[in-house]
Amino acid sequence: MLRLFPCVTILGPRQCAESTLVRDSLAATAGRRAFHLFDLERPSDAARLAANAEEDLDLLQQRPGIICIDELQRMPALLTSLRVLIDDPRRRARYVILGSASFEVVKGVSESLAGRTGSLDLTPFLASEGGADSAPKREVLWSRGGYPPSYLARNETDSYRWRENYIRTFLERDLPALGLSLPAATLHRFWTMLAHVHGGILNASELAAGLSVSSPTIARYLDILEGTFMIRRLPPRWENIGKRLVKAPKVYLRDSGLLHALLGIAPATDLRSHPKVGPSFEGWVIEQVLGALALAGESPRPYFWRTHSGAEVDLLIELRGRVLPIEIKMGAEPQVTRGFKECMIDLKLPRGFILHGGAHAFPLSPSVRALPVSLLADPASFRAALLRAPSRSK
C-alpha cells in the first residue's frame, strides 16, 4: 500500500496490535533512522504535535522514510496539516496513520485525505495468523478470541481475566470518550444484552425498552460499537422475488472471546454445552471467512438471507461478481437444508457451500460442496475453493 499511496491508514480495535505490527515490520523495513513514531497517547508526543505539528512534520518529511502517527483519533485536526504536508512537492517521506475508533478517523480521512491514502483494516488473530492449523488450536482461538493478550495467555484463567479487564476498561474509559454518556454499569448491561442476541435479528425497540432510552439513542450506541470494531451488523440481502424477506440486520459481537466473557462462559464452563454455542460458532466462522478473504486480497460484501417463513442462509457473500451462499455447521456430517435449497433456487445461484467442523471437503450435490473450517487457515486455498467452477451434473 505504501508503494501505491503516500499515506496508509490502518484501523482496528484497541489491543489488536496495530502498533506492534508497525514497529516490528515497518521499522525494520525503513531502517531505524528513517522510521519516526508519534504516539498520541504519550503526552509528550501529543503536546509536541499540538504545539507545532507542521514544523515538526516538515522537518521529518524532507528525509526519506516513514512517519507513523498512532491513535490519530485523539487529534483529528492533525489531518488538515497532513494533507498540506502530503501535497508538498519537497516531501520525501510516507505516512502511516493508526487508529482504533474508525468512524472518527474514516470521516476525517474521507474529508481531508481523499485520494491520498489507502486503508487497511486490522483484525485480532485469524485462523491463519494464530497458528490455528489444528483442531485443538482452533478451539482455543474460538474460545479465547483473537486479541493477542487473550489468545497467548498462559492459561484459560489468565485469558478470561484479561478479557474481563478489557471490557471494563472499554466501558469505563473508551466508550464515554466517544459520546456514550450512560453509566458504566448500564453500558455493561447494554453490551451483555447484545451478547444474548448475538446471531439474532436486531430489534432496536426491544433494546431501547430494556435500557429506557429511545430507539435513535440505541442506533447511535450501535454506530459507536460498530465503529470501534466491537460488533458487526450483518445486512440482509433482499430482492423482489415474490416472497416476504426479513429486512432488519443481524447483530454479532466480532470477537468470540469477548462474547464468551460477556455471557459468563468462564474457563471451567464447557463451551460446547452452552446454549449460545451455535450462534457463537456461527459468528466466529463469519469473521474468519471475511478475514481470510481479506488476507487473500479480496473485498467481499457480506449479507444473510431469511424469509418470514423461516428459510435462512447464514452468510451470502458478493465476490468478484458472484453471489455465494454459505451455511455454517458445527458437526462433521452436514446436510443441505430446505432453506439453503430455497435460497439457491430463488436467487438462481449455481453454487453453494457448507462450512463444517469435520476434516474433509466433499460434494453434497452437483451444486453444493462441503468445506472444512480448517480450510480457513489457508486463505489462498479457501478463496480458490469458493471460486472454482461448479461441477456439471449428469
Of 303, 305, 293, which is closest to residue 383 (Cα–Cα)?
293
190-238 residue pLDDT tens: 999 999 999 999 999 999 998 888 999 899 889 888 988 999 999 999 8
* The pLDDT of residue 372 is above 80: yes
pLDDT at 107: 65
Distance CA 71, CA 74 (A): 6
DSSP element (H, E) containing 36: strand 35-39
Handedness of CA 367, 368, 374, 377 (dihedral sign): positive
CATH class, domain 7-121, is alpha beta
Question: And the C-alpha cell for 335?
Answer: 446436510
pLDDT at 132: 67
> Any idea which residue has 489491543 for its cell?
15
CATH 3.40.50.300 spans which residues of the chain? 7-121
* The pLDDT of residue 249 is above 90: yes
* The pLDDT of residue 22 is above 80: yes
Of 95, 169, 175, 121, which is closest to residue 10 (Cα–Cα)?
121
Q: Where are the alpha helices (DSSP H) in 133-178?
A: 135-144, 148-151, 156-169, 175-177
Q: Which residues of 232-270 are buried (b: 16+ CB within 10 A; e: fewer)?
A: bebebbeeeeeeebbeebbbbbbbbbbbbbbbebeeeee
258-278 residue pLDDT tens: 999 999 998 877 889 999 999
Distance CA 59, CA 130 (A): 39
| Burial environment of residue 154 by CB neighbours within 10 A (0 to 12, 13 to 18, 19 or more) | exposed
> How sure is the predictor about 242, in pLDDT bands with cuts at 50, 70 and 90?
low
Q: Which of 161-175, 203-217, 365-379 has the highest mean pLDDT?
A: 365-379
> Any idea which residue has 478475514 for its cell?
291
Are the C-beta atoms of 276 and 344 separated by less than 8 Å?
no
Distance CA 184, CA 190 (A): 10
CATH architecture of 135-387: Orthogonal Bundle (1.10)
Taking residues 30-46, what's their average pLDDT?
Answer: 77
Strand partners, 370: 354, 362
Return the axis-axis angle of helices 277-295 and 135-144, rounded to nearest 10°. 110
**For residue 375, what is the DSSP state?**
G
> How sure is the predictor about 393, in pLDDT bands with cuts at 50, 70 and 90?
very low
Q: Where are the beta strands (DSSP E) in 65-122?
A: 65-70, 93-99, 117-121
Taking residues 65-87, what's their average pLDDT?
Answer: 82
Percent of the chain with pLDDT over 70: 89
Question: And the C-alpha cell for 381?
Answer: 486455498
pLDDT at 394: 39
CATH 1.10.10.10 spans which residues of the chain? 135-387
pLDDT at 23: 80
**How distant is the alpha carbon of residue 13 from its chain centre?**
8
Distance CA 91, CA 85 (A): 7
Question: And the C-alpha cell for 372?
Answer: 472444512
> How sure is the predictor about 160, in pLDDT bands with cuts at 50, 70 and 90?
very high
- Three-state helix/strand/coil letters over 199-254: CEECCHHHHHHHHCCCHHHHHHHHHHHHHCCCEEEECECCCCCCCCECCCCEEEEC
Sheet bearing 200-201, strands edge to edge: 200-201, 250-253, 231-234
Instruction: Give the residue, 383 or 239, on which the prediction is more confident.
Output: 383
Question: What phi and psi values does residue 96 have, to the nearest 5 degrees?
Answer: -125, 125
Long-range contacts formed by 201-209: CB under 8 A, 24+ apart: 201/246, 201/248, 201/249, 201/250, 201/306, 202/233, 202/248, 202/249, 202/250, 202/251, 203/248
Distance CA 40, CA 201 (A): 38
> How sure is the predictor about 105, in pLDDT bands with cuts at 50, 70 and 90?
low
Are the C-beta atoms of 175 and 285 separated by less than 8 Å?
no
Distance CA 357, CA 333 (A): 8
